[in-house]
Amino acid sequence: MTDYLTPFLEATVRTATPLALASLGESISERAGVINVGLEGVIISGCLGAVVGARSGSVLAGMAAGAVAGMAAALIFAVFVVWLRADQIITGTALTIGALGLTATLYRALFGTSGVALSTPTMGPLAIPVLSTIPVLGPALFRQPPVTYFLYLMVGVVWWFLYRTHAGLALRAVGENPEAAQAAGIDAVRTQGAAVLAAGALGGLAGASLVLAQVGTFTERMSAGRGFIAIAIVALGRWRPLGVALAALLFGAASALQFLFQSTGTQLPYQLFLALPYVLTLIVLAGGTAHARAPAALGRRDLESS
Amino acid sequence: MSPRGPARLPAFAGPVPLAILLTAGIVGVVAVVIAASGFDVAPAFAALVRGAVGSPYAIMSATLVRATPLILAGLAVAIAFQGGILNIGAEGQILAGAALGTTVTLLWGRTLGGGAVILALLVAAAGGAAWAAIPAWLRRRFGVLEVISTIMMNFIALYGVGYLVRGPLQEPTRIYPQSPTIPAATQLPMLVPGTRLHVGFGIAVLAALIAWVAIRSHAAGFRLRVVGASPSAAASAGQVDVPAAITRAFLVSGALAGLAGGIEVTGVTYALYENISPGYGYTAIAVALLAGLHPGLVIISGICIGALEAGAAAMQREAGVPLVVVNVVEALIILAIVGARAAIARRERTTVEAGT
Amino acid sequence: MTFALELRDVSKRFGSVEALARASLRVRPGTVHALLGENGAGKTTLMRIAYGAMRPDAGTVFLDGIAANLRSSADAIARGLGMVHQHFALVPAMTVAENVALGMRGRYDAGAAAARVRALGQATGLVLDPGARVETLPVGAQQRVEIVKALARDARVLILDEPTSVLPPGEAEELLRWVRRFRDQGRCVVLITHKLREALGIADDVTVLRRGATILTGPADTLDEPALVAALLGGDEREGPTSSESSATLPPAISPAAILPRGPLPAGNPVATLRHVSITDARGRRALHDASLDVHQGEIVGLAAVEGSGQHELLRLLAGRLTPTAGDVTLPESIAFIPEDRHRDALVLGMTLLENVALRGLGARRGRMPWGELRDSTESLLARFHVRATGPGALARELSGGNQQKLVLGRELSSHPAMVVAENPTRGLDIRAIASVQAQLRAARDAGSAVVLHSSDLDEVLALADRVLVLHDGRVQVVDTPTRERVGRAMLGATIGISSGAAPADVPTAG
């Protein structure tokens, strides 16, 4: 079994990386009171952006382009939801449907209708000296592509921002009670807009890491529901950065189990294991206490109480 | 969102002029999207129109067959939204209905014959309602946002069907991830002989008309609208049992989506597949919004989007324009509607703001 | 002279409504300035402009004599303005320290924030537990959080919007004492109020707004109640009430001097009976404790209580909107309910007047909606209750506050209910609408209905009630000789001259 454990854990962290990036971003947005069901569309935009950006041969340019593409998709969402105050859920659904269609269309328009797989440069694992030699966990955590290390950093940065800066306090206040935040001189529209765009950048990076650290090419609908999974992860992680990171690992593990089963020839129905984290999320949501509840103004349209 | 009552929009706009307007709008958007994607508009458009409405066969076997699940799922979404329920779980409810409907026909199709199909559709509706019952209960009992829980339920349904078609319901050769073909006696009869238009279309239209009458002139329908517009006023001024009304609407919504899944199996695919629904549950949101959440107009908007999807298939075959272009069009339609509504609401807010 | 805060010729228009028409306000340094005006006179709009939360169409805001172009509340805060809204602007899920730190910049240090709250508490006497979640605090403490929030940003001019209306009398006096001390430190307070007595008692200067314009301004010691009443109402408006409201009398809120003890108990039969009723809410808080009372035909029972004493629950219990956890309740068949928040609980603003009228009894309705009949009854209701609207097809949102309330009263009263339960029915209305609503309640009483009225304005309760009940901490008491002083003390829990809500002889036969 130990022969399988380390690869399994490695695969867990690898599959969890884009999920964690996207859900970390989504948690920022939700903490500001905006739920972006269009995250799936943001991620797929990041995928396409990464492919275009990486045409230069630079993985870093690909990552940057992915983040920019994610922000562009999030900008559309922000214009409708934050500025026009349109319904978040419906706008998000439209963004997902539209971005899935548009990226596929653009891909064919840019790279030909034949649908020939275009391969991009990828970033390989970068072993961190000493740390990666820790038995079992070392390789899983510290022999990963650099984007995973960026994720580790971001978990800390987001935590620091939310709980150790006044701007983070303001953001959380906007998500709980926008009237109160505005009365204290906080610009709720700008705060929500910035949160959505930051979430877009991280969602775009998630898509880029999918292309540049895992698949190495673009395929239609390659985001494969990760945007929705991220929304589950945020709820399971109780809207806190570290909780979100751990929840992402759990969902990553469920996916990695599939590879494990396939490589060991286990006949267990892996679909049931894939469904498990969702069931768990529902249970956690149902058991939500005051500390685990969603931001009070999540999904609300109006900034003034009606 | 706060869905407005349906009485106003159609009463003054009238279904027919509205439909013409919508069709014109959609045609324009399609042309722009095709051109912007770098394809020749004229041949692509010709293929689209041929595929959608080019012949009686195209209308009946492609457009209306495609419209059937969209009408039912659109109805499911419209009813939920009217009641202020953000059910984006129609997709999962469709799958639950399809899975249960398939199971019934496979188990009892040979013994019950034609009766089995009626039973299958009833069970499919019950399955969809049961799938909706979980988020409904989570909302009522624990205050869990249905947006999040219905997304979870969609995935659980997707993986559940994935398991069924590779496990208990897999076809006997155990090669393909799909169920065996359902017995001929349990396949829905055709509405128009010689086409693929099955009676499911009639059921969908009938369901929409019943919902229209109920929302317009029955206490239960009015209750639903009031609960959606202002739960607090419904409870206080109307003494309505709001949680019960919401639960009921959620179940009806799920039942309609489940019925869509059952009809898809017994009328179109004759077997259960993992991807039996190419996102009908999400497209249904466009259908419902396009109809202004009006149950009667859902028939028209369902046919419009059905035609679009049927035509897009032909467009891909004949002009090489990817099928997914229609998704872009659907998204633009939704954004145009919510954007226009939000802009109007914004103007109303700034003029009404005359407080103290 | 340099004013700490000056608003000069400020105008503001919302669509067709002119909220402010060249209104002015001058606040001298080191003074308490009372801003008086009826609801809708423009007080809050003017102060929101001063606070940067709204921009004027015309006019200028000066701070310390310098024209200030305030683009946001943040600008106003930075220039030493603080505002405590009538509805508190706090984040319930956050702690006191976090709420006080809201809107600041840079690093947030929870320890330093808590220390600042403690230090401010020591310096100002507004003591608070920095780690307490705001949602767990009583109203008075939440108000202190609001004030501390403003002081933490070095507010030199503090705007308080109806601060005493949410407080029990004792705490209100305490707050006003604090305001004086704050003023004595050389700072300014703008006190928005509709209580003349309060204004004359504490303010150095008084400004009266009417219909968006400054009608009167001057030192408080040169003014008296009659002068303020005249300014508030305007001479022209007092002489010619429209025919629809000819029965209108001046509401007691404006002339609180005329409070008379009520006559003997009315002889009507009890229509509603409560025996040993308790209500415990979801959080385990006991809202109502062993309450017994009778409400009789043809009487107005006034219910006096400070915020959060259980009146919200008692009224809903009497209205049949809430079931008790324990005890026996007998209610009549038809009950009219006029909840205090009509936008939330009485009307669907986005629906038509017809649909809003159809709302009554909707929960029990089965089968088809009789839209034709409902349209006829809506039309006659609009005429009978003088609701100014284009017709049954108008949206409730399009009506003025007074007309909305008339629609609610019409809907609830037109079926001659056995009992009427009214909660702050005149809140937020202008003087004419107040008089009309009060006349409707009296008319319902005279027609034989039992009326239960709660108003947070004690003077209104005393003026309308035939019998006064006081609710304190979930317990019902009768005040035998309801003077303002005795009722006020009972509201705070003092036990003088009170008995249980039901006549003792009634209790054994309860069933």
Please write down the HEC assignment for all residues of C363-419: HHCCCECCHHHHHHHHHHHHHHCCCCCCCCCCEHHHCCHHHHHHHHHHHHHCCCCCE
Residues of A in Cβ contact (< 8 Å) with C79: none
Q: What is the pLDDT of residue B9?
A: 37
Rounded Cα gap, residues C32 and C206, in angstroms? 9
> Given a contact as 3+ CB pairs under 8 Å, which chains touch B?
A, C
Q: Please say if the pLDDT value at position A115 is more than 90.
A: no
What is the distance in angstroms between the Cα of A177 and the nearest Cα belonging to chain C?
6
Span A19-27, mean pLDDT?
97
Same domain, C176 and C50: yes
Rounded Cα gap, residues C463 and A18, in angstroms? 68
Considering only alpha carbons, which residue of chain C is nearest residue B235? C345
Residues of A in Cβ contact (< 8 Å) with C50: none
Q: Do C350 and B2 touch (CB under 8 A)?
A: yes
Q: Do A185 and C103 touch (CB under 8 A)?
A: yes
Q: Please say if the pLDDT value at position A136 is more than 80.
A: no
C428/A240: higher pLDDT: A240
Rounded Cα gap, residues A201 and A207, in angstroms? 10
Q: Is residue B3 part of a domain?
A: no
Q: Is residue C227 part of a domain?
A: yes
Nearest to A228 among B86, B155, B286 (CB): B155
> Of how many residues is chain B composed?
356
Q: Do B335 and A80 touch (CB under 8 A)?
A: yes
Rounded Cα gap, residues C338 and C345, in angstroms? 9
Q: What is the pLDDT of residue A135?
A: 81
C-alpha distances out from residue C464 to A107, B239, C198, Å: 75, 28, 22
For residue C273, give the H/E element and its range: strand C270-280
Number of domains within chain B:
1
Q: Which residue of A31, A176, A177 is the best one to mutate when testing the C interface, meaning the one whose CB has the most C CBs within 10 A?
A: A177
CA-wise closest residue to C266 among C304, C300, C292, C291: C300
Span B196-213, mean pLDDT?
96
Q: Do B332 and A98 touch (CB under 8 A)?
A: yes
Same domain, C18 and C123: yes
Q: Is residue C388 part of a domain?
A: no
Q: Is residue B109 part of a domain?
A: yes
Q: What is the pLDDT of residue B231?
A: 93
Query: What is the domain partition of chain A in residue ranges?
Result: 2-114+127-292
What are the b/e assignments for A53-91, b being 16+ CB within 10 Å?
bbbeeebebbbbbbbbbbbbbbebbbbbbbebbbbbbbb
Q: Do C83 and A185 touch (CB under 8 A)?
A: no
Same domain, C92 and C41: yes
Q: Does A73 touch chain B (CB under 8 A)?
A: no
Span A284-296, mean pLDDT?
70
Q: Is residue C339 part of a domain?
A: no
Q: Is residue C391 part of a domain?
A: no
Q: What is the pLDDT of residue B22?
A: 66
Q: What is the pLDDT of residue A98?
A: 92
Give the domain extent around C223. 5-239
Residues of C in Cβ contact (< 8 Å) with A173: 91, 94, 98, 102
Helix pair angle (A2-31, A166-176), 10° resolution:
80
Q: Does A35 touch chain B (CB under 8 A)?
A: yes
Q: Please say if the pLDDT value at position B16 is more than 70.
A: no
Q: Is residue B16 part of a domain?
A: yes
Q: What is the pLDDT of residue B352?
A: 47
Q: What is the pLDDT of residue B25?
A: 76
B142: pLDDT confidence band, cut at 50, 70 and 90? confident
Residues of chain C below pLDDT 50: 236-265, 496-511
- Residues 20-49 on B with a CB inside 8 Å of A are 33, 37-39
A226 contacts A18 by C-beta, under 8 angstroms: yes
B194: pLDDT confidence band, cut at 50, 70 and 90? confident
What's the CATH number where B126 sits? 1.10.3470
Q: What is the pLDDT of residue C495?
A: 54
Residues of C in Cβ contact (< 8 Å) with A300: none
Same domain, C33 and C74: yes
Strand C475-479 versus strand C467-472 pairing type? antiparallel
Give the domain extent around B240. 8-348
Q: What is the pLDDT of residue A288?
A: 64
- Those residues of chain A whose CB sits closer than 8 Å to some CB in chain C are 163-170, 172-173, 176-177, 179-187, 290, 296, 305-306
ipTM value for the complex: 0.86
C-alpha distances out from residue A256 to A6, A8, A10, A252, A260, Å: 11, 6, 9, 6, 6
Beta strands in C397-480 (DSSP E): 419-423, 450-454, 467-472, 475-479
Q: Do B283 and A97 touch (CB under 8 A)?
A: yes
Q: Is residue C360 part of a domain?
A: no
Q: What is the pLDDT of residue B300?
A: 92
B41: pLDDT confidence band, cut at 50, 70 and 90? confident
Q: Is residue B2 part of a domain?
A: no
Same domain, C180 and C292: no
How many CB pairs (< 8 A) connect B and C? 106
- Those residues of chain B whose CB sits closer than 8 Å to some CB in chain C are 2, 4-5, 217-219, 222-223, 225-226, 229-230, 232-241, 348, 350-356
Q: Do A163 and C108 touch (CB under 8 A)?
A: yes
Span A277-293, mean pLDDT?
75
Q: What is the pLDDT of residue C335?
A: 94
Number of domains within chain C:
2
- Residues 282-311 on B with a CB inside 8 Å of A are 282-283, 285-286, 289
Q: Do A97 and B330 touch (CB under 8 A)?
A: yes
With helix as H, strand as E and coil as C, how does chain B read? CCCCCCCHHHHHHCHHHHHHHHHHHHHHHHHHHHHHCCCCHHHHHHHHHHHHHCCHHHHHHHHHHHHHHHHHHHHHHHHHHHCCCCCCCHHHHHHHHHHHHHHHHHHHHHHHCHHHHHHHHHHHHHHHHHHHHHHHHHHHHHCCCHHHHHHHHHHHHHHHHHHHCCCCCCCCCCCCCECCCCCHHHCCCECCCCCCCEHHHHHHHHHHHHHHHHHHHEHHHHHHHHHHHCHHHHHHCCCCCHHHHHHHHHHHHHHHHHHHHHHHHHHHHCCCECCCCCCHHHHHHHHHHHCCCCHHHHHHHHHHHHHHHHHHHHHHHHHCCCCCHHHHHHHHHHHHHHHHHHHHHHHHHHHHCCCC
What is the distance in angstroms between the Cα of C292 and the nearest Cα belonging to chain A?
36
What's the CATH number where C458 sits? 3.40.50.300
Q: What is the pLDDT of residue A133?
A: 83
Q: Does C53 touch chain A (CB under 8 A)?
A: yes
Residues of A in Cβ contact (< 8 Å) with B1: 87, 89-90, 301
Q: What is the pLDDT of residue C8?
A: 94
What is the distance in angstroms between the Cα of A178 and the nearest Cα belonging to chain C?
9
Show which of C239, C261, C288 is a domain's final residue: C239
Q: What is the pLDDT of residue C243?
A: 34
Q: Is residue C255 part of a domain?
A: no
Topology at the third CATH level for domain A2-114+127-292: ABC transporter involved in vitamin B12 uptake, BtuC (1.10.3470)
CB-count exposure of residue C333 (10 Å: 0-12, 13-18, 19+)? exposed
Q: Which residue of A31, A157, A166 is the best one to mutate when testing the C interface, meaning the one whose CB has the most C CBs within 10 A?
A: A166
C196/B49: higher pLDDT: B49
> Of how many residues is chain A composed?
306
B20/C339: higher pLDDT: C339
How many CB pairs (< 8 A) connect A and B? 159
Q: Do B327 and A231 touch (CB under 8 A)?
A: no
Same domain, C93 and C226: yes
Q: Is residue C248 part of a domain?
A: no
Same domain, C179 and C55: yes
Q: Does C216 touch chain A (CB under 8 A)?
A: no
Same domain, C211 and C295: no
- Residues 276-305 on A with a CB inside 8 Å of B are 278-279, 281-282, 285-288, 294, 298-299, 301-302
At CA A39, angle to CA A216 and CA A110, rounded to 5? 45
* Mean pLDDT for all residues in chain B: 87
